[in-house]
Each structure stands twice: as structure tokens, then as C-alpha cells.
Structure 1
Amino acid sequence: MRCDYLERDLCRSCTLLHLRYPDQIARKERAVRDVLGLPEDVWLPPVTSRQDRFRNKAKLVVGGTAAAPVLGIQTIDGAPGQVTDLTACPLHLETIEASLPALARFVTTASLTPYDIAARSGELKYLLVTASPDGELLIRLVLRSREAETRIRKHLPGLLADLPHAAVVSLNLQPQHAAVLEGPEEIVLHGETLTMRVNDLPLHLRPRSFFQTSTDVAAALYRQATAWIAELGPRTLWDLYCGVGGFALHAARAVPGLEVLGIEVSTEAVASAGRTAADLGLPRARFMAQDAGAVALGDPSQAPDVVVVNPPRRGIGAPLAQWLETSSAAHVVYSSCNAASLARDLAAMPSLRVERAQLLDMFPNTDHYEVLTLLARR
């Protein structure tokens, strides 16, 4: 794959694009295997990805002026707030790229002044766009305040006419003068959820809910984890850091009678997961909004048969690792985007042995990845 942005040194995100794709995969496998130090026979073949058109989300800085907005990234070695156009990034799904001219026009129509970092003035900071496999969009405008809300509501019908496949449009308020992508307050103007159809499972995504970057690789991740869980035939399962319920709901659908509890700190994600469970008629799948690390405060002898963990890059941490180590859980499915934190957590759980592992290329052209492991009680 060639990228004009990289060749012109306008964007340096795809650090491995100079390598042939098989060499990228080999490099990632070597790095992950070296860090984890697992026996060769536990590794399954890696899950690969297409190099372009895989990103289901765009996170675009807004620069320029309201009359001539620029959607892209902070300019490399440029002045603070200078933005380079990135609307033709070959990583984004075609549906996202096709929507960006209409969004740029909307910035002008609604007189949304891009935020000026140096002057600490202006309103519109970012445009966040997520696309579903069905071609629908979730569009979020990250603003400094509610100053532009009335104008946005006034001109929203025009945007929806230009983008009839926009399922959700919302405003996010991020008042801080800091490199923080979004704030805690969300104002939904249109719709409710974006349906991400993964392995024929209609996962609902609300504006502040996390979802994996590549829908195709996420589908493979859920299929592999579900196959392992179905083979074990558990009666009970907890999905910690469950997000919108991808692992939990796949397992609940695959294993008859399985009692599932998903735990996630985001109330929006929990509401999304609960809606999918209701849609699928899965009354045994429950979800609660709580910090997954707090599970370590419960009685480890009352642990479920299987625990799934999919933490952020920092890993599950010492308290939860100690809880799992002393728990009655026979198996743990651990999905990680950071082999270093995974290795640290595994070292804290010596009673759980890695039986299977697989690299999934969630982030082609970079050194990032997802690695899925199945742990069994020794």
C-alpha cells in the first residue's frame, strides 16, 4: 500500500508501511513472543488484516476557519494549532471518507469556529466519525462550550439531508485547554445508537462507548474467544471491561443456559450491552456499571467458571490479578493490546497457565496489535 501523506512527510502514523505486509506480521509476532516467552506450541496462526480501508473510526482535528475548515491532524513540526488535511486517509472506511466533505460544509453553514490553541479561542475542536458495517454513521462534534448548540440544531436537518445514513449525531463538551480528545458531557441531537453488526450480532454503540478499531478483526477476535469458551462449556462467565458486551454476548448466544455478567465503568456502554441482550432475547446476560478492578474486592471462592478480561493498555493491575490468582475460576480469557502489561499480569497469576495464544493484527502498518490468550488453572 502507498500513502501520499507518508511519502510527503505529512503524517507519520503508519510507521511500518515501508515493510511488506508479511514482514509486518513477522515483526509483530517476534516482538510479542519475545515479551511473553510462551512455548511455541501454544501459538495459533495470526489473524491478518487488509492494510487499507479497515479503520471504522476517524478522529480529526479541526483547523483553518469556519469559512474554510481543515479536517486532519496537527501539522508535523508546525506551529501549535496548525492542521494538515487528512480527509483522504486510505485507512478510513470509504463511508467515512465520503462523509467528510458534507461535514466540512456543515462547519461553514453552522459558523463553527475551529478552536485556536495559541489564542485559546474558538469552539470546534474535533470531529469524531464512526462507521458501521451497514454504512451508517455516528458523528460527534467536540466543542469547547454550548455556544454553538443553537446554530447546530438549526442546521442539523440540512446535515441529515446530506448524510441520510447518519444514525447518531451528538455534541461532546470538552472545555479544557489540554490535549484531551473528549469531555464527560454528551448532548445527543439525533438518534440513539449505531448498530455494529459483528458476526450477525447487533452490538449497539452509543457516543461514549468504546469499540475496536477494525470491525473485521474484532469479529475474528470474538469468534476465537467464543470457540474456546464453547469448548469449555461453562455454566457461568464474567466479562470484565466488557465495553458494549462483545465477548459476553457472543458467549451467551453460543453456550445454552450460560449465566453472563458484564462489568464496565461506562454507563453508556452498559446501556448499549443491555439493549443488545434484550434484542437477542438473552435474559441470562446481565450488565452493570462498575470499575472492573473492584471485582477484586469480592469473594474469590464465588468466582464464575470463566472470566474474560479485556483491559486498557495498562493491564488488569495487581489487585485484580491477585484476585484471579486466588479465585475458583478454572479459566481466564485475556485479550490484550500490550504484551508488556500482559506479561506482568501473567507473572502475578502463576496458578494460571497459558494454553493457547493468538496475535490479531488490529492495527496494520504499526507496531500495535491485539493478542488473545486462554489461561487454565494448573
Structure 2
Amino acid sequence: MLQKNSVIELAVTALTSEGNGVGRYEGMAVFVPDTAIGDRIECKIVKVHPRFCYGRLERLLVPSKDRIEPDCPVGRRCGGCALRHLSYGAEKEAKWQQVQDAFDRIGGFSLECQPLVSTGMVDGYRNKALYPVRERDGQVIIGFFARRSHEVVENLACRLQPPEFERIAGVVRDFLQEERIPCYDEGSCKGLVRQLYLRKAFATGEIMVCLVLNGETLPQSGRLLERLRDMRLPIRSVCLNVNRRSTNVVLGERTKILWGRPVITDLLCGVRVNLSAQSFYQVNHDAAELLYQKARQCAALTGNEVLLDLYCGTGTIGLTMARQVRQLIGVEIVPAAIEDAKVNARENGIENARFLCDDASGAAQKLEKEGIRPDVVVVDPPRKGCDEQVLAAISRMGPRRVVMISCNPATAARDCARLRELGYALQEITPFDLFPRTTHVECVALLTK
């Protein structure tokens, strides 16, 4: 039996969905971060459970052929890019395997996944950044929360963000420091500035700068606007989001415009999309276009269908298919997102779209009562997957095709297995890498009645 603080040699033979290497020592599974398949390591046991252990990499004895030198100075402390020590080829293989294993083991499917789809762009792809703002030893710190903690690791130059974000974050940090504006303290729930929130519309270049406040106003805001304007970047919106709650939820319900417009505008699959501070939007624009094109291909639209888009957000998925269907119905529980969806439809001249503000299961039941029977259902649920009521309602409405977009292969496999019990056959699974260098992977699954 391994003991805490034991030092052992280990051969890494697999990767978990969290990016940890796995090896076996005397039959016991040992999980070690920052390792690669093929590594032979010396590790220190830091936590012991009855059936597995966690270790810490102490020394690399024989490196894997897939291992590369991490190119971020704070990568190990931050933990966001948990796969930055792997070659991108090895990362893609691991993500494909993660999806395949989920559908094999959890779903009980024997269908082989399609090849993983990627743009090949691994840096600068994120169109959104949330930087916690704190004070340490009298200095303003802007960066990211370390993995599984609320310790802020200072980092303005995150390689996943576009270069404009680093410049803006630096200007905001200097402004807060020089004007002595208090930063938020989670322990006391005091202080004003909680987060810096940046968005960029990649197709148009437009940028939104938003400060999340534990209050209503930002002192000396005019001076901040001067500094941002002097940057000569395409900043089109500067706003304040009010969040006075003691919560881990980043945004509050009210956003006030300091300067410019309440939204920025992007183009996705030919559709103009207005993005407010609260709008959900895929963070990787170019990869999202590939994913939505695949979803449209799976839907196999002819122009006569009723398309139901559940968990529709600002309507982007459905609106990219609206011109190929008779009627589009989108459902989303966030009121601001539904308003954005309606505006997006109107500004794109799409008149066959209807949007309902409700949870997916409630809306599905209402549509059932109206006698609406969609031909195709697209679902893009949160990580927890679809509720049982949603899957049951889909089955009762009897669409001939269900297109499932998922950010969690495990819950996607579970939900597809439930739909199989309800009379649907899984035809195809395609993994998509929307988050290179991180452990996250998305997939599109097609089921037919």
C-alpha cells in the first residue's frame, strides 16, 4: 500500500479527461499532472485513496516523444493550459480518445468517432477573457484564478488571448493603481473592482471593455476612457457591470454603458451577431464556424422543416440554419440572451424565427401542447447535459433527427444512450477542438429516429 510522501518510479500510460497522466504501481492507479503518455518519471505521492493515488512530478527520468517545453512562464501555476507540455498532435489524439472512450464506456456504443476537427490555431483564439482583479502587497494584480483555487496568478500576456487584451489589461491595471481604486476582497466582500471582462468580435475587430464592480460607479471613469481612446484600438463599448452579491457568479444582472454602444457586432457563418456583456457566445470564432457547419450538415435541411433549437443562447446556431428551414424556434432561459436573439434575427432580416424564454424542458412541454412537432431538434446543453424531461419531450415530439452539440463528452454519451432507449439511433460522432492547449473538447452527435 502506497503511503503519502512515498517517492516512486512510474511509467505514464494514459491521460485522464482532466489532463493528468496515469500510471500503475503495484496495481494502484497513480494520477500525476504535467506528464505525458510515454514519460518515465519519479513522483511523490501527495494524496492516497483506497483505490488510487495522486502524485507530484519530482523528476523526469525518460521523456515521452510527445513532450515539448511549455512556452508559458506561469503555465504550471495557472493550470488553465493543462496540455501545454504536449505536442499539439498528441493533444488532438488525446481529445479524440476522450470522446471515443466516453461513448464506448458510458454510452455503450461501438461506433468509431470521426476524426477530430481543428483550425490548427492554438494561440490567440479566445474572443473573451475574464480577469479577476485583486490587490497584493499594495499592488494591483490582474490575471487568472489558479486551478481549483481563488488565488490569482498574475498574467496579462496569456497566449490564448488576442494581443489587444494584454494591452488593455495593462492600461486598466495602471489606471486602478494610479487612481488608488480599491480592488475586491473575497474574504471581506469589500472593495470595488472585481473583474476585467474583455470581448472581441473576430470578424469585425470590435472590442468591448467591461469592469465588473461591487458598486454602482467607477471613480475617475473619464480618465480611464481617455486612456482607452488613446490606445487607438477598435473599442466600441465600455461598460460597467454591477455585481454586489457574495457569489462566484461573475456577472450581475445590470450593465451600464460608460461610452459607446451596449453591444459589439460579429459575423458567424454569414449571420450578424450582436453581443452584449451577458451574451453567451462560443469563445473560438473560427472553430465555432466549423462546428456549426457540421451541425447544419447533420440536420440535412431541405427548406420545409420546423427546427427546434434548445439552449439557444443568443440564437446563433439556429439563425445560421434559419434560411434553410420553414420555421425556427429557439429556447433559452436567460432573458437577456433571448432579447439578443430577437434583435439578431431582426437585423439579419430573418422573419421565420420565434424565440421563447423558458427552460428547455418547460418550453418543450409547451410546444407539445401547441401541437408543434419539429422535424429536427438541435440541443446545445450546459456541461451537466440534458434533463430527463427534455429528452422525454424530444422523444414525444418525434423529430426525425436530433443534433447534439456538447462541451462534455461524458454527459453527451449518457444522453445519447437515453435517446437510444427512446427510439433513436446514433449515426455519427465528431469531436471538435474549440479550446486548444486546455483539456476541454466538444463534439457533435447525430441521432435519427
Measure, in 2, the Cα distance between the counterparts of 1:6 and 1:30.
28
Partner of 2:81: 14
Partner of 2:362: 294
Q: 2:181 aligns with which of 103, 106, 112?
A: 112
Partner of 2:343: 275
Q: Does 2:97 correspond to 1:25?
A: no
Measure, in 2, the Cα distance between the counterparts of 1:358 and 1:177.
40
CA displacement at 1:323 relative to structure 2: 0.9
Measure, in 2, the Cα distance between the counterparts of 1:67 and 1:354.
57
Equivalent residue letter for 2:176: V
Cα distance change on mapping 1:230 and 1:282 into 2, 3 Å: farther
Structure 2's unaligned 5+ residue stretches are: 1-68
TM-score, normalised to structure 2's length? 0.76
Partner of 2:280: 210
Equivalent residue letter for 2:83: L
CA displacement at 1:58 relative to structure 2: 1.1
Equivalent residue letter for 1:374: L
CA displacement at 1:144 relative to structure 2: 0.8
Per-residue Cα deviation, 1:274-306 (whole angstroms, up to 9, x for no partner): 222222211112223222221232327632111
Cα distance change on mapping 1:67 and 1:271 into 2, 3 Å: farther
Per-residue Cα deviation, 1:102-149 (whole angstroms, up to 9, x for no partner): 222333465431112344321001101111112211222111111x34
Q: Say if 2:126 and 2:161, in contact at 8 Å, map to a contact too.
A: yes
CA displacement at 1:359 relative to structure 2: 0.3
Q: Say if 2:330 and 2:355, in contact at 8 Å, map to a contact too.
A: yes
Per-residue Cα deviation, 1:295-346 (whole angstroms, up to 9, x for no partner): 2323276321111110100111100011112222111111001122112222
Measure, in 2, the Cα distance between the counterparts of 1:27 and 1:260.
36
Equivalent residue letter for 2:439: D
Q: Say if 1:212 and 1:218, in contact at 8 Å, map to a contact too.
A: yes
Q: Does 2:423 correspond to 1:355?
A: no
Q: Say if 2:361 and 2:393, in contact at 8 Å, map to a contact too.
A: no
Measure, in 2, the Cα distance between the counterparts of 1:66 and 1:23.
41
Partner of 1:264: 332
Partner of 1:373: 445
Measure, in 2, the Cα distance between the counterparts of 1:28 and 1:315.
19
Paired residues for 1:28-67 under 5 Å = 28-37=95-104, 38-40=109-111, 43-48=113-118, 49-64=120-135
Partner of 2:408: 338
CA displacement at 1:177 relative to structure 2: 3.1
CA displacement at 1:65 relative to structure 2: 7.1
Larger Rg, first or second structure (1 or 2): 2
Q: Say if 2:287 and 2:433, in contact at 8 Å, map to a contact too.
A: yes
RMSD: 2.5
Partner of 1:184: 253
Per-residue Cα deviation, 1:70-107 (whole angstroms, up to 9, x for no partner): 21024689xx9763321011110123223222222333
Measure, in 1, the Cα distance between the counterparts of 2:297 and 2:150.
47
Moved more, 9-18 or 229-238: 229-238
TM-score, normalised to structure 1's length? 0.89
Q: Does 2:173 correspond to 1:101?
A: no
Cα distance change on mapping 1:178 and 1:278 into 2, 3 Å: closer
Alignment identity in percent? 28
Q: Does 2:240 correspond to 1:240?
A: no
Q: Say if 1:53 and 1:94, in contact at 8 Å, map to a contact too.
A: yes
Q: 1:71 aligns with which of 142, 161, 165?
A: 142
Partner of 1:324: 394
Q: Say if 2:181 and 2:219, in contact at 8 Å, map to a contact too.
A: no
Question: In structure 1, the residue corresponding to 2:296 is in which secondary structure?
Answer: helix
Q: Say if 1:244 and 1:272, in contact at 8 Å, map to a contact too.
A: yes
Partner of 1:284: 352
Count of aligned positions: 370
Q: Does 2:201 correspond to 1:132?
A: yes
Cα distance change on mapping 1:252 and 1:355 into 2, 3 Å: same
Cα distance change on mapping 1:339 and 1:289 into 2, 3 Å: same
Higher share of residues assigned strand: 2
Q: Say if 2:72 and 2:159, in contact at 8 Å, map to a contact too.
A: no
Q: Does 2:316 correspond to 1:249?
A: no
Cα distance change on mapping 1:232 and 1:61 into 2, 3 Å: same
Cα distance change on mapping 1:82 and 1:113 into 2, 3 Å: farther
Cα distance change on mapping 1:114 and 1:160 into 2, 3 Å: same
